[in-house]
A and B are shown apart, each in its own frame.
Chain A
């Protein structure tokens, strides 16, 4: 979704919300009491409940520290699905108290947090909760018993290998089925692309590029981290305004990447 679409949606939302507020608070003076039910305001109830539940879930998930579904352990993935279901019930049924959704969600998040901390602290608990990675291909040899134990079919294994770019299992030295269900692959040395070390090339390590300009805004903290200042930035911009750039990345050596905003030459 582009910035313009987001702005448009945001403006529409604010306008609708403002109109709704005016209608609700001045409904008697405006003579539109029939718009709202006796003792209740269905549209408003749904809107406010959705916002509250959404914020509760977002805050909870952020506190858990996971950002991608792919990184979740199975128990955490199940928890996420249950939370989504729990949140939907009071969002849709206004006869149910909001606490019916909030309390179970908070309880689930608390339990998950506790299990997550215990998993980090105790190796045994981690094995109990998450299991162990399984070596499916060991030194080029298929471990059929491990495949059976993990209920991994040949078709699934070949599919995962193809997704990783290896259509031929004989090219694989190790294939490990991780606890999150992903397959990690270590190819045989003979089929690995050579790296600088193999070719005897000594190449200095590259620095981590840091964002200097994001969507037209200069990030002064990041400039300081790189040991640069606005004077340096002005030299790099060569007369251009920072607001004309969508993205600028730099490292200690200099600017690495620039992207202009659309519609600006």
Chain B
């Protein structure tokens, strides 16, 4: 029965790790998306510098989790988010509100989708 308990423990440990991963990723993306939304509000009020600072902080946050994200996510997904960040920053620096809003929305959507994929959801399973 020892092997049975070892196998069961391994399964439970993997399940726990998956659930912890989905919670952590959800928290991370929620935190970044809320900051990105706050940056957009700043930009609407004309505080472009503050919007740039907040977005750069979000990018730094994202990069600090680079290794972790590469281990658990598709590399193409994380690369696309990185590209989106650069596009958003570029639009911010050019003070182009319409383009910035569109790029920001796309970035926020990609972040949310990345977290959604990891959620223990019946839709994801099916």
Interface residues of A (CB under 8 A from B): 63, 94-99, 103, 106-107, 109-111, 113-114, 116-118, 121
Contact = CB atoms under 8 A, between A and B. Distances in A.
9 contacts: A97-B71, A97-B72, A98-B71, A103-B14, A106-B14, A110-B14, A113-B6, A117-B3, A117-B4
B8 A110 contact: yes
Interface of B: 1, 3-4, 6-8, 10-11, 14, 18, 70-76
Given A95-B76, A117-B1, A110 B7 contact: yes
A98 B67 CA distance: 13
Which of A98, A107, A109: most chain B Cβ within 10 A? Answer: A107
Contacts, number: 45
Contact of A107 (B1, B14, B71, B74): B14
Contact of B4 (A95, A99, A103, A114): A114
B11 A111 contact: yes
A97 B10 contact: no
Contacts of A110: 7-8, 10-11, 14
Nearest to B2: A117
A21 B18 CA distance: 33
A107 to B, nearest CB: 6
A241 to B, nearest CB: 44
A137 B74 CA distance: 56
A93 to B, nearest CB: 9
Given A97-B71, A99-B71, A114 B7 contact: yes
B75 A118 contact: no
Nearest to A94: B75
A96 B70 CA distance: 9
Which of A98, A114, A121: most chain B Cβ within 10 A? Answer: A114
Contacts of B73: 97
A28 to B, nearest CB: 21
B98 to A, nearest CB: 32
Nearest to A65: B3
A50 to B, nearest CB: 18
A95 B80 CA distance: 12
A180 B74 CA distance: 40
B74 A114 contact: no
Contacts of A118: 4
Contacts of B76: 95
Given A99-B72, A111-B11, 14 more contacts: A95-B74, A95-B76, A97-B71, A97-B73, A97-B74, A99-B71, A113-B4, A113-B6, A114-B7, A114-B8, A117-B1, A117-B3, A117-B4, A117-B7
